[in-house]
Structure 1
Amino acid sequence: MNRHSNEFLNNLKPAEALQMLQEGNQRFVNKAGTTPDLLQQVKETSGGQYPFATILSCMDSRTSVELTFNLGIGDVFSIRVAGNVLNEDILGSMEYATKVVGTKIIMVLGHTSCGAIKGACDHAELGHLTQLVNKVIPAIDQETTTQTERNGHNLTFVNHVAELNVRLVMEQITAQSPVIAELVEAGSVQVVGGIYDIATGQVTFLEAPVQA
């Protein structure tokens, strides 16, 4: 069955979509990735798009999700913003991706040594960036394991905040979007998280938050 087809997407389960991401990352890490025929994928998707996943990731130049998960053209909706934070425009994009197009999974992907997280930990202020990094403050407030050096120079602290930030954004998606919450409740969509290790390429997948 053509992966870039409405039939494939309609028959795909959220758990299968998650497995596709997991297997793709393992191929990437193990240097066993397939090399897609990108021009063929251009032709296959010229009449429509049927991506199976929506991924919110950081804008960091080292975290291209198509590469990280050994994917190609037409496979995912990729939303990128510093710190993989959430706002109304991103939520609207996710609602379109899931409710209208039919993607089966929403993934929030953070990464180690994230510059936006470091900036938030150091209370950076710079134009509109100030408002963006302030969205990470709730994750910093939740970090209780580090008693000293709670700043951007402590990578253990930074990476823990990055994980907490991913978990918070996962919760915010369903809390702030009744559209997506309904799809999750129906089992049509799954919200997952992950942390990409910039040193190894490995993604550690995080469990979805418990739905109320």
Structure 2
Amino acid sequence: MKAHTQETQAAMTPTSSLQALKDGNNRFVNSNPINRNLLEQIEDTSTGQYPFATVLHCIDSRVSAELIFDQGIGDLFSIRIAGNFVNEDILGSMEFACKLAGTKVLVVMGHTACGAVKGACDHARMGNLTALINKLEPAVAAVAEPADESERTSKNIDFVNTVAEKNVHMTIDNIRSRSQVLKEMEDNGEIAIVGAMYDIKTGVVNFY
């Protein structure tokens, strides 16, 4: 399979780009990946890149967007940070990817049993990690259940996963409120901004 070209990228829409990710995850889950010549794709992309999607996801070693969406070299802009939140630099990277490089869908993807979210649930404090955890704690505070404080910890995996999903929603809200570029592109139908959760037990990505 050849890498995307300027023409194939231009032919894709936000809807078809999202469907391509869904189809890729289905192939991944069913162990039916597309047969790619990655060395050939390196050659194809040596003079330019034309990805169709941008994915913000966690650094977790089990959560690689290229693998779980069955994509090749030159298909995705992959932004990774523990807890998949945004800051000024990440927003700038997204604006480059969408406005200047032409991607059609922007996915914010959390995952189950996220270590960074567990740290936020426990209000962990350690070196530079403290500042990162502080950025995730608003999602912990935004989840009302369970009311019992003793159950609002990393030991309650259902609570952890609910916080992880809430963090995705809040990150999308931050993208729209803090990036006029991306908000205008979404309003104009040039891109779609969507949330997703990856299940580390099944390999399935659920979009919303």
Q: TM-score range by the shorter chain?
A: over 0.9
Deviation at 1:35, TM superposition (A): 3.0
Aligned to 1:209: none
Aligned to 1:20: 20
Aligned to 2:194: 192
Aligned to 1:6: 6
Confirm or deny that 1:29 pairs with 2:14.
Answer: no
**TM-score, normalised with respect to structure 1:** 0.94
2:83 is paired with a residue whose SS is helix
Distance in 1 (alpha carbons) for counterparts of 2:35 and 2:66: 11
Q: How does 1:77-156 map to 2 (within 5 A)?
A: 77-148=77-148, 149-156=151-158
Alignment deviations for residues 84-136 of structure 1 (CA, whole Å, 9 cap, x no partner): 01110000000000110110011011100000000000000111111111111
Aligned to 2:162: 160
Distance in 1 (alpha carbons) for counterparts of 2:36 and 2:165: 31
2:168 is paired with a residue whose SS is helix
Distance in 2 (alpha carbons) for counterparts of 1:51 and 1:27: 19
Between Structure 1 and Structure 2, how many residues are aligned?
Answer: 206
Distance in 1 (alpha carbons) for counterparts of 2:170 and 2:121: 16
Contact 1:97 1:103 (8 Å CA) reproduced: yes
Q: How does 1:54-93 map to 2 (within 5 A)?
A: 54-93=54-93
1:77 is paired with a residue whose SS is strand
Deviation at 1:147, TM superposition (A): 2.1
Deviation at 1:31, TM superposition (A): 1.1
Ranges in structure 2 where 5+ consecutive residues have no aligned partner: none
Contact 2:120 2:134 (8 Å CA) reproduced: yes
Deviation at 1:3, TM superposition (A): 5.0
Distance in 2 (alpha carbons) for counterparts of 1:18 and 1:75: 12
Deviation at 1:145, TM superposition (A): 2.5
Alignment deviations for residues 134-177 of structure 1 (CA, whole Å, 9 cap, x no partner): 11112111111222310111000000000000011011111100
1:83 is paired with a residue whose SS is coil
**TM-score, normalised with respect to structure 2:** 0.96
Contact 1:85 1:132 (8 Å CA) reproduced: no
Deviates more, 1:116-125 or 1:8-17: 8-17
Q: How does 1:169-180 map to 2 (within 5 A)?
A: 169-180=171-182
Deviation at 1:9, TM superposition (A): 1.2
Contact 1:3 1:9 (8 Å CA) reproduced: no
Confirm or deny that 1:50 pairs with 2:50.
Answer: yes
Ranges in structure 1 where 5+ consecutive residues have no aligned partner: 207-212
Distance in 2 (alpha carbons) for counterparts of 1:36 and 1:155: 37
Q: After TM superposition, where is structure 1 displaced by more than 2 Å over at least 4 residues in a row? A: none
Contact 2:120 2:137 (8 Å CA) reproduced: yes
Equivalent residue letter for 2:189: G
Equivalent residue letter for 1:164: K
Distance in 2 (alpha carbons) for counterparts of 1:174 and 1:53: 17
2:195 is paired with a residue whose SS is strand
Alignment deviations for residues 164-210 of structure 1 (CA, whole Å, 9 cap, x no partner): 0001101111110001111001000110111111111001111xxxx
Distance in 2 (alpha carbons) for counterparts of 1:153 and 1:61: 21
| Percent identity of paired positions between Structure 1 and Structure 2 | 51
Contact 2:3 2:45 (8 Å CA) reproduced: no
Distance in 2 (alpha carbons) for counterparts of 1:28 and 1:147: 38
